[in-house]
C-alpha cells in the first residue's frame, strides 16, 4: 500500500508513539472506567477519590440482571434490530443491483432521493409516523419501531449495496447473459453469492443502527415490558436519584457483544462505506 | 424524472416489441427497462409509504395547529344501551397557514434562535475537531511504526460502543458529585465544575462526548484515502526537495480531496441531526439552554403538552437548512473542479 516510509530520528519516533499512546488511552479510558466502576459496590461508585479497584464484586451485574427488566429490554432490542436488518436487506438488494447495473430513466432521481432521505433529521418524520402508528393502533409495539427504522434502513442499505455491487466486475453479468441467464437469475445466481461480504456488512451496520436508536423508541414505547435498551437505560438515570450501579453493568453488558461483532466486521465496513459514498 | 438521452437513444433489446408500428418513447423505455424498474419497485413503494407520505403529511401538519388536545376529528361518547355516538370535534385542529413558522422564527414561541446557535456551535466544533483529530491520527497511523495494528484497534474502540452507551458513560464521567472529570480537576488543585448548570460547560460535555465517539470514523475513512495516494507522488515531491510540511500540503491534502469532501458532508449532516448525545448527556440542562434544533423539535412534540404542528414546522425548517447546506456545499465543490 501507499505507506510512507522515511527515515525518522529517534526523537520523532518517541513523539509519535507518545501521541498515539495518549490518544489510545483517551479512546479506551471511558470504557475502562465504566468497567471498573461497574465492579465497585453501589455505595462506592461515586467515592470522593479516584480508585481503580474498590472491593471488586459482581453484585451490580447480579442485581441488574435479576432486579430490573434489563433482559427483557435486551431481547426487545435484539428482535427490533434483527427484523429491521432482514427487512432492510430484502427490500433493498434488488434496488441496489438495478442502480448499480442499469441506466434506466429515473435512476438519477432515485439516487438523489436516497441521498436526501439519509439526511432527514429524526424530527421531520417522527410526528407524522407517530400519527400513522397511533391510527393503526401500533403505538407501544415493537412493530412500530421496525417500520420506523425501515425509513432509515432501506435507503441506507440500498446505497451501501449499490456501492458493493459496483465493485463486482460487470463482465460477470455479461458472461451470465451470454449463457442465457435473464437479469433476475443473473442477480440471484451470480451476483448475490459474490456479494455475501457486502451483504454481511450492510446487515451488520443496519443492526447496529437499529440497536442504538433512541428517539423513536422514546416517543413510541410506553410500558416497561416493551422498552428497548435505548429507552430502558434512561429509566436507570432519571434527573434525580441516578442509579449508576445499574447503569454501569448494563452498559458493559451491551457493549461487549456489540464491540466484538464490530471489531470483526470493521475492516469490511469502511471499504463498503467509502465505496458507497464516493462512487455515487 | 430525468431521462438520460443515452438510454433513450439506445436500441431496445427487450423481448415483446410490436413490429407493426414504431413504438412510442414510453413504450420503448418500458420494454428496455422493465426489469430495472421491477427491481426498484419494492423500494420505491416502501419509500413512498414510509417516507414520502409522512413527509407530505408532516408538511400539511406544519400548517395546522394540531396538538395533543385537538387531534381527534370526532368526539365519541358512550350512550345508554351500549352504543357510541360520535359528533365532530368542535375544537378539532384547523389550518392556520404560516402561523407556526412565524411563531418559531420570531421567537414568540419556543427557543428557535438559541437552539439554532447551539446547533451551529455544536456542528462546527464537532466536525472541525473530528476532522482535525481524525486526520492527525490517520497520518500517524499511515507510517511504518511498531504496534500500528494495536493502536488502530484501540483508537477504533469508541466507534464500537453504541452511541447511547457512550452518552451514558460520559454523563457518568461528568457527574457533578465525584464524577471522574471533577475528581481529576480537584486532584490537580482546581475547583470542581458544575457542568450541567451553565450553558457552555454543559454543551462542552456533549461536544467532548461526540468528538470522542466520532473521531474513529474520520480516522479510518481518511486512512483509506491516504493509502490510495500513490507513493510515487511522495517520492517525486521528495526529489524536488519538498519539506514534510510542503508534502503534506501539496500532496496529501489534494490527494484526500474526494474522501474529505464526502466525510465532511456526511459528518456535518450526521452531527447536525445527532439526537442521542444532546438528549442523553445534557438533557437540555440548564433549563433547555443546550437543546439543539433536533432535540428541541422532539421535546416540543413529545414532552409536556404535545405540540405536533409546532414540531412539524420545526422539522421542515431543519430539513430546508440541510438541503440549502448540501446544495451550497456541492456547488462549492464543483466550482473548484470536483467531479462529485
Is the confidence at residue B207, as pLDDT, over 90?
Answer: yes
| Contact residues, A window 10-29, toward B, CB-based 8 Å cutoff | 13, 16-17, 19-20, 23-24, 26-28
Over range B152-177, report the average pLDDT.
89
A277 contact residues in B (CB cutoff 8 A)? 262-263, 266
Query: Quick check: B183 and A50 CB within 8 A?
Result: yes
Percent of chain B at pLDDT > 70 equals 88
Highest mean pLDDT among A51-60, B127-136, B167-176, B286-295: B127-136
Is the confidence at residue B20, as pLDDT, over 60?
Answer: no
Measured CA to CA, the distance from residue A111 to residue A29 in angstroms comes to 41
Q: Is A105 on the interface with B (CB under 8 A)?
A: yes
Percent of chain A at pLDDT > 90 equals 12
A215 contact residues in B (CB cutoff 8 A)? 275-276, 279, 298
| Contact residues, A window 165-224, toward B, CB-based 8 Å cutoff | 182-184, 187, 208, 211-212, 214-215, 218-219
C-alpha atoms less than 13 angstroms from C-alpha of B132 in its C-beta half-sphere: 7
Both A56 and A190 in one domain: the answer is: no
Residue of A nearest to B151 (CA): A24
Q: What is the pLDDT of residue B16?
A: 44
Cα of first residue to Cα of last residue in chain B, in angstroms, is 20
Is the confidence at residue B6, as pLDDT, over 60?
Answer: no
Q: What is the pLDDT of residue A162?
A: 87
Q: Which long-range contacts (CB under 8 A, 24 or more apart) does B4-12 make?
A: B4/A103, B4/A105, B4/A107, B4/A108, B6/A103, B7/A103, B7/A104, B7/A105, B7/B32, B7/B33, B8/A105
Is the confidence at residue A2, as pLDDT, over 60?
Answer: no
Q: pLDDT tens, A207-224? A: 888 888 888 998 888 888
With contact defined as beta carbons under 8 Å apart, do B75 and B87 qualify? yes
| Higher pLDDT, residue A47 or B246 | B246
Both A160 and A208 in one domain: the answer is: yes
Question: Is A249 part of a structural domain of the chain?
Answer: yes
Q: What is the pLDDT of residue B22?
A: 55
Total Cβ atoms within 10 A of residue B213: 26
Measured CA to CA, the distance from residue A235 to residue B164 in angstroms comes to 13
Helices assigned H by DSSP within A119-243: 122-135, 142-166, 170-178, 183-186, 192-194, 196-211, 215-220, 229-232
Over range A218-234, report the average pLDDT.
87
Question: Is B94 part of a structural domain of the chain?
Answer: no
Over range A6-10, report the average pLDDT.
67
Cell digits for B340?
A: 462529485
Query: Quick check: A274 and B224 CB within 8 A?
Result: yes
User: From the list B43, B57, B166, which residue is nearest A154 (CB)?
Assistant: B43
Question: Which string of b and e fits B287-326 if b means at least 16 CB within 10 Å?
Answer: ebbbbbbbbbbbbbbbeeebbbbbbbbbbbbbbeebeebb
User: From the list B36, B71, B180, which residue is nearest A98 (CB)?
Assistant: B36
Whether the complex's predicted ipTM surpasses the cut of 0.90: no
Question: Is A4 part of a structural domain of the chain?
Answer: no
Query: Quick check: B230 and A2 CB within 8 A?
Result: yes
Measured CA to CA, the distance from residue B35 to residue B14 in angstroms comes to 9
Cell digits for A14?
A: 518517541
Both A50 and A127 in one domain: the answer is: no
Both A43 and A177 in one domain: the answer is: no
Measured CA to CA, the distance from residue A216 to residue A144 in angstroms comes to 9
Both A47 and A77 in one domain: the answer is: no
Question: Which string of b and e fits B73-101 if b means at least 16 CB within 10 Å?
Answer: eeeeeeeeeeeeeeeeeeeebeeeeebbb
| Higher pLDDT, residue B20 or A205 | A205
Lowest mean pLDDT among A7-11, A134-138, A235-239: A7-11
Q: What is the pLDDT of residue B7?
A: 39
Cα of first residue to Cα of last residue in chain A, in angstroms, is 24
Question: Is B54 part of a structural domain of the chain?
Answer: no
Cell digits for B110?
A: 419556543
> Which residue range forms the structural domain that includes residue A93?
62-278
Give the gap in angstroms from C-alpha B20 to the nearest C-alpha of chain A.
25
Both A274 and A162 in one domain: the answer is: yes
Measured CA to CA, the distance from residue A41 to residue A244 in angstroms comes to 11
Interface test with B, best of A3, A23, A30 (most B CBs within 10 A): A30
pLDDT bin (cut points 50, 70, 90) of residue A280 is very low
Question: Is B9 part of a structural domain of the chain?
Answer: no
Q: What is the pLDDT of residue B337?
A: 61
Question: Is B289 part of a structural domain of the chain?
Answer: yes
Lowest mean pLDDT among A175-189, B64-78, B179-193: B64-78
Task: Determine the 3-state secondary structure of B200 from DSSP.
Answer: helix
Is the confidence at residue B300, as pLDDT, over 60?
Answer: yes
Question: Is A43 part of a structural domain of the chain?
Answer: yes
Q: What is the pLDDT of residue B327?
A: 84
A6 contact residues in B (CB cutoff 8 A)? 238
Over range A137-148, report the average pLDDT.
89
Q: What is the pLDDT of residue B203?
A: 92
Over range A158-172, report the average pLDDT.
85
Lowest mean pLDDT among A81-85, B1-5, B203-207, B221-225: B1-5
Q: Is B236 on the interface with A (CB under 8 A)?
A: no
Percent of chain A at pLDDT > 70 equals 92
Question: Is A3 part of a structural domain of the chain?
Answer: no
Is the confidence at residue B4, as pLDDT, over 70?
Answer: no
Question: Is B175 part of a structural domain of the chain?
Answer: yes
Report the CATH number at residue B330: 1.10.3720.10
Cell digits for A28?
A: 479506551
Cell digits for A43?
A: 455505595
Cell digits for A4?
A: 510512507
> Which residue range forms the structural domain that includes residue B159?
106-335
Lowest mean pLDDT among A104-113, B83-92, B155-164, B168-177: B83-92
Q: What is the pLDDT of residue A267?
A: 66
Return the H-helix or E-strand segment holding B171: helix B163-173
Total Cβ atoms within 10 A of residue B39: 22
Q: DSSP letter at B174? A: T
Question: Is A42 part of a structural domain of the chain?
Answer: yes
Q: Show the 3-state SS of B224-287.
A: HHHHCCCHHHHHHHHHCCCCHHHHHHHHHHHHHHHHHHHHHHHHHHHHHCCCHHHHHHHCCCCC
pTM to 2 decimal places: 0.82
Question: Is A162 part of a structural domain of the chain?
Answer: yes
Both A177 and A202 in one domain: the answer is: yes
Tell me phi and psi for residue B84, to 5 degrees.
-120, 150
Number of domains chain A is built from: 2
Number of domains chain B is built from: 1
Total Cβ atoms within 10 A of residue B164: 26
Q: pLDDT tens, B36-54? A: 888 888 888 888 888 889 8
Question: Is B220 part of a structural domain of the chain?
Answer: yes
Q: pLDDT tens, A75-95? A: 999 999 999 989 888 888 888
Class of residue A111 by CB neighbours under 10 A (exposed 0-12, middle 13-18, buried 19+): middle
Q: Find, among A204, A201, A192, A167, the residue nearest to A93 by Cα.
A: A192
Question: Is B25 part of a structural domain of the chain?
Answer: no
With contact defined as beta carbons under 8 Å apart, do A258 and A78 qualify? no
Cell digits for A206?
A: 443496519
Q: pLDDT tens, B118-132? A: 999 999 999 999 999
Average pLDDT, chain B: 82
Both A47 and A74 in one domain: the answer is: no
Question: Which string of b and e fits A66-81 if b means at least 16 CB within 10 Å?
Answer: eebbbeebbebbbebb
Q: pLDDT tens, B208-263? A: 999 999 999 899 888 888 888 888 888 888 888 888 888 888 888 888 888 888 88
With contact defined as beta carbons under 8 Å apart, do B179 and B173 qualify? yes
Amino acid at each position: 500500500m501507499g505507506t510512507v516510509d522515511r527515515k525518522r530520528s529517534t526523537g520523532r519516533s518517541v513523539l509519535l508513539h507518545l501521541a498515539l499512546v495518549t490518544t489510545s488511552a483517551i479512546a479506551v479510558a471511558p470504557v475502562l472506567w465504566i468497567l471498573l466502576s461497574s465492579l465497585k459496590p453501589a455505595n462506592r461508585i461515586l467515592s470522593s477519590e479516584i480508585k481503580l479497584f474498590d472491593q471488586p464484586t459482581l453484585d451490580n451485574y447480579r442485581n441488574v440482571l435479576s432486579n430490573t427488566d434489563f433482559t427483557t429490554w435486551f431481547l426487545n432490542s435484539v428482535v427490533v434490530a434483527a427484523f429491521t436488518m432482514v427487512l432492510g436487506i430484502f427490500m433493498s438488494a434488488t434496488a441496489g443491483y438495478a442502480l448499480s447495473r442499469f441506466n434506466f430513466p429515473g435512476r438519477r432521481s432515485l439516487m438523489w432521493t436516497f441521498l436526501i432521505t439519509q439526511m432527514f433529521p429524526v424530527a421531520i418524520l417522527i410526528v407524522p409516523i407517530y400519527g400513522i402508528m397511533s391510527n393503526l393502533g401500533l403505538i407501544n409495539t415493537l412493530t412500530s419501531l421496525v417500520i420506523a427504522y425501515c425509513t432509515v434502513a432501506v435507503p441506507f442499505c440500498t446505497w451501501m449495496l449499490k456501492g458493493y455491487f459496483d465493485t463486482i466486475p460487470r463482465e460477470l453479468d455479461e458472461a451470465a447473459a451470454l449463457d442465457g441467464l435473464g437479469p433476475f437469475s443473473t442477480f440471484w445466481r451470480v451476483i448475490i453469492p459474490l456479494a455475501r461480504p457486502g451483504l454481511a456488512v450492510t446487515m451488520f451496520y443496519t443492526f447496529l443502527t437499529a440497536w442504538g436508536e433512541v428517539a423513536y423508541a422514546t416517543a413510541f414505547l410506553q410500558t416497561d415490558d416493551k422498552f428497548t435498551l435505548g429507552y430502558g437505560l434512561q429509566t436507570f438515570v432519571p434527573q434525580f436519584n441516578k442509579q449508576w450501579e445499574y447503569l454501569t453493568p448494563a452498559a458493559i453488558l451491551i457493549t461487549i457483544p456489540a464491540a466484538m461483532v464490530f471489531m470483526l466486521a470493521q475492516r469490511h465496513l469502511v471499504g463498503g462505506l467509502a465505496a458507497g459514498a464516493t462512487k455515487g | 424524472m430525468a431521462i438520460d438521452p443515452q438510454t433513450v437513444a439506445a436500441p431496445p433489446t427487450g423481448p415483446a416489441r410490436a413490429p407493426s408500428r414504431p413504438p412510442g418513447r414510453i413504450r420503448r423505455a418500458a420494454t428496455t427497462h422493465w426489469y430495472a424498474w421491477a427491481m426498484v419497485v419494492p423500494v420505491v413503494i416502501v419509500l413512498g409509504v414510509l417516507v414520502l407520505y409522512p413527509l407530505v403529511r408532516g408538511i400539511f401538519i406544519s400548517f395546522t395547529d394540531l396538538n395533543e388536545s385537538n387531534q381527534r376529528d370526532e368526539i365519541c361518547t358512550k350512550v345508554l344501551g351500549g352504543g357510541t355516538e360520535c359528533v365532530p370535534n368542535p375544537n378539532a385542529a384547523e389550518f392556520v397557514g404560516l402561523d407556526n413558522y412565524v411563531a418559531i422564527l420570531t421567537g414568540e414561541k419556543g427557543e428557535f434562535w438559541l437552539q439554532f446557535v447551539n446547533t451551529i456551535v455544536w456542528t462546527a466544533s464537532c466536525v472541525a475537531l473530528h476532522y482535525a483529530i481524525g486526520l492527525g491520527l490517520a497520518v500517524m497511523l499511515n507510517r511504518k511504526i511498531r504496534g500500528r495494528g494495536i493502536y488502530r484497534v484501540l483508537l477504533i474502540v469508541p466507534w464500537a460502543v453504541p452511541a447511547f452507551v457512550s452518552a451514558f458513560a460520559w454523563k457518568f464521567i461528568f457527574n457533578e458529585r465525584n464524577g471522574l472529570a471533577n475528581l481529576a480537576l480537584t486532584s490537580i488543585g482546581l475547583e470542581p465544575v458544575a457542568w450541567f448548570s451553565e450553558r457552555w460547560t454543559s454543551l462542552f460535555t456533549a461536544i467532548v462526548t461526540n468528538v470522542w465517539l466520532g473521531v474513529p470514523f474520520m480516522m479510518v475513512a481518511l486512512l483509506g484515502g491516504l493509502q490510495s495516494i500513490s507513493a510515487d507522488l511522495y517520492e517525486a515531491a521528495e526529489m524536488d526537495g519538498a519539506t514534510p510540511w510542503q508534502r503534506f500540503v501539496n500532496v496529501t491534502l489534494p490527494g484526500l480531496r474526494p474522501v474529505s469532501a464526502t466525510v465532511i458532508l456526511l459528518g456535518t449532516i450526521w452531527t447536525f441531526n445527532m439526537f442521542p448525545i444532546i438528549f442523553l448527556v445534557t438533557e437540555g440542562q440548564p433549563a433547555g439552554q443546550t437543546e439543539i434544533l433536533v432535540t428541541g423539535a422532539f421535546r416540543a412534540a413529545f414532552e409536556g403538552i404535545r405540540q405536533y404542528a409546532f414540531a412539524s414546522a420545526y422539522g421542515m425548517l431543519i430539513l430546508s437548512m440541510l438541503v440549502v447546506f448540501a446544495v451550497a456545499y456541492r456547488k462549492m465543490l464543483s466550482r473548484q473542479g470536483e467531479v462529485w
